[in-house]
Structure 1
Amino acid sequence: MHGATVNAFTSVSLTPPLVLSALDRRSRACSHLSDGVFVVNVLRESQRDVAMHFAGRPMDGPVPWVGEDGDHPRLGGAVGHLFCRVWRNYDGGDHVLHVAEVEDLDLRGGRPLLFHRGEFPRLAESDPVWALTLDGHAPSTIL
């Protein structure tokens, strides 16, 4: 199993549900995304060591893989997983832009790990901005 910590990941389309990740074309992880399936793990705020492990700084102890027996290997403890199939790859200079279709998702909830300006900041404690839509109903899942 392989993994990479990325800081260039975004939603592209809702219909079909597409996401994009940009990886340095020289990285080992880049070749593993050229076609096939992969899982995006949205790490929990407490999983800095896991993020750093996949950024090249090995963590003490085992990587928390789950589903290793053919059931979409993914990282345990994450706030969510997006199960993706590569849709297209594009030249992005020294990076490759991997666009993938989200085939399924598993949202566990919790506070996600953020990375900004070389640090892992915390989200401020507050009420969700999008708790309800304008018609007073809970929104459907948004990637």
Structure 2
Amino acid sequence: MDERELRNCFGKFPTGVTIVSWFDGSVQKGITVNSFTSVSLDPPLALVSIHKEAKACTGMKDKAFTINILSDEQESIAWQFAGSKQEILEIDWDNKGISPKINGSVAWMECKPWREYDAGDHVLFVGEIQELHFEDLEALTFYQGKMGSAKQLVK
């Protein structure tokens, strides 16, 4: 199967944009992820999918992590953690708890590691949600290779 065609097909499904963040010692680390889903309400579980070649794949191993659902005002943060350095970007971190959170996000879920699964060229990290927070903000959306508010992208 042609990988580019498969990516294009997957791109027809609008998703939210998250930063998965964790502590490496006292330093905040993160990766932009749009492959995130709820798994279970009891116990409360969420899943993120990380490419095996990403530094985050080894960096997250056995660590608590936060899934930060970005607001449509946080696109530059998404690009920063996707590997596109943003000039003059300050991230407002909340370092309380078991993993760092990004202030101004639509929502965050702080997770302790629950299970990891090998899945082709990715690893599925399932976390048990320990704490959560959400705001009434517009979420950042990823659709056909572009980011923006859902109102901008899906017309």
TM-score scaled to structure 2, two decimals?
0.74
Aligned residue for 1:132?
A: none
What is the SS of the residue equivalent to 2:56? helix
What is the SS of the residue equivalent to 1:111? coil
1:26 is aligned to 2:50 = no
**CA displacement, residues 121-141 of structure 1 (integer Å, 9 cap, x when unaligned):** 43349xxxxxxxxxxxxxxxx
Please identify runs of 4+ aligned residues in structure 1 that moved more than 6 A: none
Aligned residue for 2:40?
A: 13
Q: C-alpha distance in 2, partners of 1:29/1:109? A: 29
- Between structure 1 and structure 2, the one with the greater Rg is 1
TM-score scaled to structure 1, two decimals?
0.80
Q: Are the aligned partners of 2:64 and 2:98 in contact in 1 as well (CA < 8 Å)?
A: no
Displacement of 1:109 in angstroms is 2.0
Aligned length: 125
Q: 1:45 aligns with which of 72, 82, 105?
A: 72
Counterpart of 1:106, as a letter, is: H
- Is there any run of 5+ residues in structure 2 with no aligned partner, and where? 1-27
The structure where strand makes up a greater share of residues is 2
What is the SS of the residue equivalent to 2:80? helix
**CA displacement, residues 27-84 of structure 1 (integer Å, 9 cap, x when unaligned):** 1111122212111111111111100000000112244132236674221211111101
Counterpart of 1:26, as a letter, is: E
The structure where helix makes up a greater share of residues is 2
Q: Are the aligned partners of 1:24 and 1:95 in contact in 2 as well (CA < 8 Å)?
A: yes
Counterpart of 1:17, as a letter, is: P
Q: C-alpha distance in 2, partners of 1:36/1:64? A: 21
Q: CA RMSD in A?
A: 1.9
Counterpart of 1:29, as a letter, is: A
Aligned residue for 2:31?
A: 4
- Is there any run of 5+ residues in structure 1 with no aligned partner, and where? 126-143
In structure 2, relative to structure 1, the CA distance for the partners of 1:71 and 1:84 (3 Å cut) is closer
Counterpart of 2:112, as a letter, is: R
Q: 1:103 aligns with which of 119, 127, 130?
A: 130
**CA displacement, residues 91-118 of structure 1 (integer Å, 9 cap, x when unaligned):** 1111101111111101122001010110
